[in-house]
Amino acid sequence: YKSYHGATYGAMSAGGDPRRLPNEPGIPGIVRLPDPYAYRNPIYRGKTQEEGDAIIADLIEDIVIAEGPEYCAAFLVEGYSGSSGVMQPSAVFFNRLQEIADKYGLLMIVDEVMSGFGRTGEWFGIDHYPNVKPDIMAIAKGVTCGYVPLGATIVTDKIADFFENNPLHTGLTYSAHPLACAAGVATIEVYREENLIERSREMGKVLRKGLTDLAEKHAVIGDIRGAGLHHVIELVKNRETREPLSPFNKPFSEPMKRAAKMLKDNGLSTLVRWNYVFNTPPLVITPEQIQEGLDILDGVLTMLDDYYEG
């Protein structure tokens, strides 16, 4: 439900992220599904990640049946959750989702705009779930490392063959721009030549250990989620109640406002949203630079400890 797929009218409607709210009611025909958000979804209380994921998948199948499978075209998912909070389901969830898609003839559309090209330690976020076979994949951002604007849609041979004889009568002025495509080819070559996908995986271990160490020191960290160089820490007032340090879809609380400013003033540029602090450094980062960032974060968390009520 909380996914984000872009700012155009259709893409904004497809996700449930609150950035859609000024554009409501959006386009018809979209049904948003429950999130595999183990830290906050009450379905997971008293259950393992895998047990909760299985229930969420069963609920999704029930929704498909209720909507009428013959009227359902596809599942649209993030390959690895991004600004919605880096939700991290187990393979149980995605395996079941693929089974449901196959059972009822739904396409699997995977949004890899944020999680693609090494961000999570794999070429694509969905690669963490090898049983998932996307029919359509959306990519951007990392395909050119942001140097030149480029987005693309990757489809299976079956879908591509259909459009050979059934043209899609649409196009944009800058579609397939040669400069952007050249930048994309060059960027992919660098990923391969410098082993940046593998580097993300290894540096991700360094980052995860550092964040885990900080969580042992600062009770204000309620949860750590992520893979590779794509992590988030969720900050809470109390680990038992899990009350967020700043409420969902509301202006920053005073402590989070202070934290965001302090991070920036001390030289750490990162996304701070609600009670989340994202940790998504460049793939070329060194262990020393990771430690420098963790030291800055440590100082900010020390300030936030005063707001912890546990």
Mean pLDDT calculated for residue range 52-74: 98
The pLDDT score that the predictor gives to residue 171 is 86
**Predicted TM-score (pTM) of this structure:** 0.95
State pLDDT tens for residues 11-30: 999 999 999 999 899 999 99
Residue 182: band (very low, low, confident or very high) from pLDDT cuts 50, 70, 90: very high
Sheet containing 221-227, strands listed edge to edge, beginning at the edge strand earlier in sequence: 221-227, 230-235, 276-279, 272-273
Q: How far is CA 53 from CA 56, 58, 75, 194, 262, in A?
A: 5, 9, 16, 36, 37
Mean pLDDT calculated for residue range 46-63: 98
Strand (E) positions, 29-165?
A: 74-78, 107-111, 136-139, 152-155
What percentage of the chain exceeds 90 in pLDDT? Answer: 97
The pLDDT score that the predictor gives to residue 23 is 87
Residue 310: band (very low, low, confident or very high) from pLDDT cuts 50, 70, 90: confident
- CA 1, CA 5: separation in Å to the nearest integer? 11
State pLDDT tens for residues 246-263: 999 999 999 999 999 999
The helix (run of H) or strand (run of E) holding residue 223 is strand 221-227
Given a contact cutoff of 8 angstroms between Cβ atoms, the answer to whether 96 and 64 are in contact is no
Domains and CATH numbers, the chain: 9-139 (3.40.640.10), 196-307 (3.90.1150.10)
The pLDDT score that the predictor gives to residue 170 is 87
Residue 53: band (very low, low, confident or very high) from pLDDT cuts 50, 70, 90: very high
The pLDDT score that the predictor gives to residue 308 is 97
State pLDDT tens for residues 97-151: 999 999 999 999 999 999 999 999 999 999 999 999 999 999 999 999 999 999 9
Of 84 and 196, the one with more pLDDT: 196
- CA 129, CA 264: separation in Å to the nearest integer? 35
Instruction: Pull the structure tokens for residue 41.
Output: 């979804």
Q: Which residues pair with 137 in a beta bridge?
A: 110, 154
DSSP string, 6-25: -SSHHHHHHS--GGGGGGTT
Mean pLDDT calculated for residue range 226-232: 98
Going by C-alpha positions, the residue among 196, 230, 247, 257 that lies closest to residue 82 is 230
The pLDDT score that the predictor gives to residue 238 is 98
The helix (run of H) or strand (run of E) holding residue 34 is none
Mean pLDDT calculated for residue range 281-291: 98
Q: Is 74 left (phi over 0), alpha (psi -120 to 50) or beta?
A: beta
- CA 269, CA 263: separation in Å to the nearest integer? 7
Cβ neighbourhood burial of 71 (10 Å; 0-12, 13-18, 19+): exposed
- As a whole number, the mean pLDDT across the chain is 97
The helix (run of H) or strand (run of E) holding residue 28 is none
State pLDDT tens for residues 147-174: 999 999 999 999 999 999 999 888 889 9
The pLDDT score that the predictor gives to residue 254 is 97
The helix (run of H) or strand (run of E) holding residue 260 is helix 254-265
